[in-house]
Amino acid sequence: MRSLVLTLIGPDRPGVVERISDCVARHHGNWLGSRMAHLAGQFAGILHLEVPAEHAATLKSALDALQSRDGVRLVVEEAREELKTSAGRIVTVDLVGQDRPGIVSELSEFFASRRLNVEELATDRENAAMSGEALFRARVRLSVPPAVTIAELRSGIERLADDLMVEIKLDESD
Q: SS3 for 154? A: helix
Label residue 72 left, alpha or beta by phi (over 0 means left) and psi (-120 to 50 means alpha): beta
Kindly list the structural domains of the chain, giving each domain's residue range(s) and its CATH number in brackets, ordered by start: 2-78 (3.30.70.260), 89-171 (3.30.70.260)
The pLDDT value recorded for residue 174 is 62
pLDDT tens digits for 32-56?
999 999 999 999 999 999 999 999 9
**Whether residue 83 has pLDDT greater than 60:** no
**pTM, to two decimals:** 0.78
Helices (H) and strands (E) in the chain, counts: 4, 8
